[in-house]
Amino acid sequence: MSILAVSISHKTTSVDILAKVAMDSSTSTKLAEAMIASEHVDEAVVLSTCNRTEMYASVSRFHGGLDDVTVALAQLSGVGVGELRQLCAVYFDEGAVAHTFAVSSGLDSMVVGENQILGQVKSALTACQAHGTVGTGLNALFQQALRVGKRVHTETEVGSAGRSLVTAAYEVLRNDVGPIGGRRLLVVGAGSMASLAARTAAAAGAQVTCVNRTYDRARRLAEAIGAQARPLAELEAALQQTDLIVTCTGARDVFLDAEHLLGTPVVGVVDLALPADVSEDVTNAGVVLVNLARLVADQPDHASRAEVEAARALVSGEVNDFLGVRRAAQVAPTVVALRSMASEVVSAELARLDGRAPDLTERERQEVHRTVRRVVDKLLHQPTVRVQELSANPESVDYAAALRELFALDPQTIAAVMSPEVMTTK
């Protein structure tokens, strides 16, 4: 099986199109289930954030798998297959591994090195595990991707700087309206992004108020940072007592526009939701708007070239190590099949010997059996160990194919070794 990654991100399309394919957790798992129900996909993980919607799959064929993934996404998003094919970046096998590690490390994010992506990747994996769309292949890939992401965030400057979409948005806002410290700031939403926005603002000295559809969640967040909480029903009243707004909800439609903000003291709005929570016409009310589209266009690159290159070097080394282990594992069934064939040959020859030498004592017979098996095991040991070591080298030949050809190994025997039932019992 091979790994396929299909990505629609801020690098391949506009925020408006990203909004069309953005998915909540429930829709993401529906997409993953639709993918594995198709002909060429055996495992699936769907990752959807404000930066990207990506499908990862273990596939039997590249083109068939790509078609299955694209069709499944088109059916759920309402975006045509032809349009999706023009918007998607496609990564296959080694490229898919490298892309997965780069995404988990924050190197492919709108804000390079941001650390929220690790939690988002883990949540996507956990959700798909719970729905049974993840097997051993993608589980190994994503578990390693999470480890690589943690290494980048703890061992490199690009990952340890505490960058996030929230800090980037606040910086852009500060350039337009001044510092947020001392300002009255209203946070609408209580998810991970809204929570980060509230905590960051409170740490900067803002007077934070939390509003959410579920009041208890807003209250818990407010209590954790020493802020106030209000129910969503009091939003209009809250707007009359705030200078800045940060919104990141799961709403599918705009719920704040210029009419809501006219006559209020609001001077700036940060909208981190996808789809957008805030209409762009709020600028007509004299309000500064910092949304995802503006962040894509204006986000300054704080990470130095040296920082990024150091992080990419770490990721590259991890990719090579992962692929080496994977290549060695792929030759293992052929090695097992070779040893199995040798064992069958030895057993057949010893049976012939037993018929031709009936006068051997039981002790002599057992000694002959042990000697022959030891000879065969010793002859096979070094070559089979070396072939797995050599297979880890990306420049190596296809040793599995060479063994199959040299020893005329039955492909069905190798396939049986690779079957889930056999793998489970070993």
Residue list, annotated binding site: 49-52, 109, 114-116, 120, 189-194
Q: How many CA atoms lie within 13 A of 264 on its CB side?
A: 27
Q: How many residues does the chain have?
A: 426
Q: Is the peptide bond before 265 cis (omega within 30 degrees of 0)?
A: no
Rg (CA), the chain: 29
Angstrom distance (rounded) from CA 115 to CA 48: 15
Which positions make up the binding site for NADP(+)?
189-194
Residue 70 backbone phi and psi in degrees, to 5: -65, -45
Which positions make up the binding site for substrate?
49-52, 109, 114-116, 120
Angstrom distance (rounded) from CA 153 to CA 159: 4
Active-site residue list:
50
Distances (CA, A) of 71 to 11, 88, 265, 266, 328: 22, 13, 47, 44, 34
Residue 340: Cβ within 10 Å count = 16
What is the token pair recorded at 142?
């994503």
- The structure tokens 């309000």 sit at 287
One-letter amino acid at 69 equals: V
